[in-house]
Chains A and B, each alone.
Chain A
């Protein structure tokens, strides 16, 4: 009996050894990964904070109190504040149509929604310059009515909406597909109206996935550079968002100020990552559904 047990243990140990790497190999692989991540991710992040505080806290805080920087912060919040809710509503509508119904052309529609991911940010801005620029058909007409799209908030919002278009829909579609339609059908058969079903059944089911999508959408909206750079016109204190302000300050060799604004964006990224990780830990099932696609 004891011998039989010994053999089992021995066999188990053998199998484990055969389906895993040796200790040395394991530690080598972990070390290579960590060194790589340090060189590519961790050190750049550390450099942002180091450069921002290079000349002390006073220089850092005064750089952030510059009126042009303050207006850049305000503009970023305005643009994201408009673009993110728009894409939130669209994302929910798209996910409802695509995930809860079967219709022809669904795969094609999904591909179209993902399209902005494979378009260069610069081109995302360029398309609006072509559409609304002074050489276009629409530009002069709108101008005669006193409507300014390019080099103003509407252009920045349009470019940002274009770039962040897929984020919310992309998170929700796989999640809602996984959940199926049984809950909604039950609610409807119990006499709930369509809106009641959506508010009280669907929305609670998807809220964490939705929050996850909004979080990523917002991070991109506030940090977008290429697309807004093309439509902004770089008017100081007026049409510069935070990332554009970073560029201007950096190109003027005003490194402390550039990195000071950059720390705010880096903090935004860190907060996004922390919230994202917390959501993933707490609601791993829901979010895993969307990751698998």
Chain B
């Protein structure tokens, strides 16, 4: 009995609370059934393709273009979201104005609004005959049915990720830091640029990574507005769907595997940068 306790504590600290085995067991079973088995199915299926076939699909011109469109537009959209997300978080945290609470709530709309609805709404709005598309079209700017439209949709879905990661960190900024900076003769711009923003960097990077990861895989809001022209405005998730509809399972599987590998690699890199910047700057979180 005593021996058992000692042995168990090697991988978990002793606790008087019951239910650890049941809770962890249920979690692992559910996780294995829903996430791990399906994802390893994808891995097995990909490896059974063989290297030559996998490479042929991966180096296919249309696949490469689709991946380029997905990752490129997601990157641009995440950058735009960093700029406006930080601005919005700042306005929401620092300023008091009528309707602030409503604005704060509305920021979460992309989390709650189904992507298909966002897709058709943005398309209607930014199409050449839409409320915003028409004036833009008269200026010679085309948004819907071009890669710009994809960026727009991805800005929509990614915005709350940046705001919601930066906002709580901003709320915890110690005002004394700013006062010190001002006392030492920095003007407001210098204080923001050299004192406040560097400390927000880890949170901003997290927000960027989340918005970017979401954008790379996004499907519902994009396909309506993209125009879906192969080699131009065709995103990788759509190409997977097209391959599936052609019953080209190897094609769909290989593209999915490439997307997953690229996304995980990129998240890993961003995590490392984040860990570094958290040590370097950071507000202690």
Do A and B come together as binding partners?
A: yes
The CA-CA distance from A129 to B238 in the complex, in Å, is 16
Contact B111 A93 (CB under 8 A): no
* Interface assignment of B13: CB less than 8 Å from any CB of chain A: yes
**In the assembly, what is the distance between CA of A265 and CA of B114, in Å?**
7
Name the one of A29, A123, A269, A277 contacting B237, with C-beta atoms under 8 angstroms.
A123
Residues of B within 8 A of A128 (CB): 38
Cα-based distance from A277 to B108 in the complex (angstroms): 10
Instruction: Give the chain B neighbours of A133 by CB distance below 8 A.
Output: 249
Q: Are A33 and B240 in contact (CB under 8 A)?
A: no
Given A113-B31, A118-B264, A121-B219 in contact, is the A131-B37 Cβ separation under 8 Å? yes
Tell which of A20, A33, A116 touches B87, judged by Cβ atoms closer than 8 Å: A33
B24 — which chain A residues lie within 8 A by C-beta? 97, 101, 103
With A126-B253, A131-B38 as contacts: A225 and B23 at CB distance below 8 Å: no
- A122 pairs with B121, CB closer than 8 A: no
Task: Say whether B213 faces chain A, with CB atoms less than 8 Å apart.
Answer: yes
A246 to chain B, nearest CB (A): 5
Interface set, chain A 109-148, CB cutoff 8 A to B: 109, 112-113, 115-123, 126-131, 133, 135-136
- What is the number of residues of chain B that contact chain A, defined by CB distance less than 8 Å? 96
Kindly provide the distance from the CB of B219 to the nearest chain A CB, expressed in whole angstroms.
Answer: 4
Say whether, besides A90-B27, A122-B217, A188 and B34 are in contact (CB < 8 Å): no
B19 touches A194 (CB 8 A): yes
Q: Which residues of A contact B131 (CB under 8 A)?
A: 43, 47
Of A2-10, A61-69, A158-166, A203-211, the segment with at least 4 beta carbons within 8 Å of chain B is: A158-166
Q: Is the Cβ of A243 less than 8 Å from the Cβ of B109?
A: no
Minimal Cβ-Cβ distance residue in A for B27: A94
Interface residue? A198 (CB, 8 A):
yes
Query: What is the bound-complex CA distance between A255 and B123, given in angstroms?
Result: 12
What residues of chain B lie closer than 8 Å to A43, measured between beta carbons?
125, 131-132
A37 in contact with B121 (CB, 8 Å): no
Chain B contacts for A117, CB-based, 8 A: 210, 213-214
B240 partner, pick from A47, A126, A262, beta carbons under 8 A: A126
Q: Which residue of chain B lies nearest to A94 when distances are taken between CB atoms in the complex? A: B27
A277 near B105 with CB under 8 A, answer yes
Contact among B22, B36, B87 for A112, CB-based, below 8 A: B36
Q: Shortest beta-carbon distance, A102 to chain B, in Å?
A: 4
Residues of chain B at the chain A interface (Cβ within 8 Å) = 11-13, 15-20, 22-24, 26-27, 30-31, 34-39, 41-42, 45, 84, 87-88, 90-91, 94-95, 97, 101, 103-118, 120-122, 124-125, 130-132, 152, 155-156, 159, 164, 168, 175, 178-179, 182-183, 188, 191, 210, 213-214, 216-220, 224, 236-238, 240-241, 244, 249, 252-253, 256, 259-260, 263-264, 267, 285
The interface of chain A, by Cβ under 8 A from chain B, is 15, 18-22, 25-26, 29-30, 32-34, 36-37, 39-45, 47-48, 51, 89-90, 93-94, 96-98, 100-105, 109, 112-113, 115-123, 126-131, 133, 135-136, 158, 161-162, 165, 181, 184-185, 188-189, 194, 197-198, 216, 219, 222-226, 229-230, 242-244, 246-247, 250, 255, 258-259, 262, 265-266, 268-270, 272-274, 276-277, 288, 291-292
Q: Given A44-B118, A259-B120, A277-B101, 6 more contacts at CB 8 Å?
A: A41-B156, A47-B125, A90-B26, A94-B30, A100-B20, A135-B249
